[in-house]
Homo-oligomer: A and B are copies of this chain.
Amino acid sequence: MTDKAFQDYYPEELSHCYGCGRHNTHGLQLKSYWDGEETVALFQPEAKHTAVPGFVYGGLIASLIDCHSTGTAAAAAYRAQGRAMDTMPAIRFVTASLHVDYLAPTPIAAQLEVRGVVVEVTPKKVIIESTIMADGKICAKGKVVAVHLPESMLKVMKGEK
C-alpha cells in the first residue's frame, strides 16, 4: 500500500467532507490507498453507527463506498495523466450516481475493508466498483460514477455566486 492516503492530497479547502475530509473533526475521516491495481480503505464502525443492534446502518456503508470511490477516481485520474497526486492542478471528484447492493448484514464489531476497482476512466468521468468485507465475507457491493467537481460548486465556495 502507498504511504499517504488519497484524501491527504486533497487541497485544504476541499478537505471538509464528513466522509473523508481530514479537517472534519466530526466525520469518518476515511483514508484510501493504492494496493496494486486496486484501492483499499479500512474503517472501524462505532456503536453509534447501528442499524439494528449488532449491525451497521446502510447509510454508513453507502458513505464509505461513496468517499472511497471518489478518492479512487481522483487517484485514477492522476495515474491516467501520469501525474503524482501532489501536482497541480488538483483533481477532485464528486458523485454523479451511487448504487449499493446490500448482500449480507454488516457486523458492527468488525473492521470493514473497502476495496475499489477502476472500471473506466474518461476525461469526464471515472467508474468505480467497490466491495465491503467484514470477517472475510462480502457484505455489500457498490458502483459509483464520479465526475469532476463542477465549477458552480467552486464559485459558491469562493463566494462568487
Interface, chain A (partner B; CB < 8 A): 13-14, 16-19, 21, 24, 26-27, 48-55, 57-60, 62-64, 66-67, 92, 94-102, 105, 149-150, 152-153, 156-157
Min distance, Cβ A124 to any Cβ of chain B, angstroms:
15
Contact A27 B54 (CB under 8 A): no
For A62, give its contact among B24, B53, B59, B101 (CB under 8 Å): B59
- The count of identical subunits is 2
Contact B153 A105 (CB under 8 A): yes
In the bound complex, what is the Cα–Cα distance between A55 and B52 (angstroms)? Answer: 29
Count chain B CB atoms within 10 A of each CB in A51, A54, A152 and give the residue with the most.
A51
21 pairs, A vs B, C-beta closer than 8 Å = A16-B52, A17-B50, A17-B52, A18-B49, A18-B57, A19-B57, A19-B58, A24-B50, A26-B48, A54-B153, A59-B60, A59-B63, A59-B67, A62-B62, A62-B63, A97-B99, A97-B100, A98-B102, A99-B99, A105-B153, A105-B156
User: Closest residue to A152 on the B side, CB-wise?
Assistant: B105
Contact B96 A60 (CB under 8 A): no
Closest 6 CB pairs of A and B: A59-B63, A62-B62, A26-B48, A18-B57, A58-B95, A54-B156
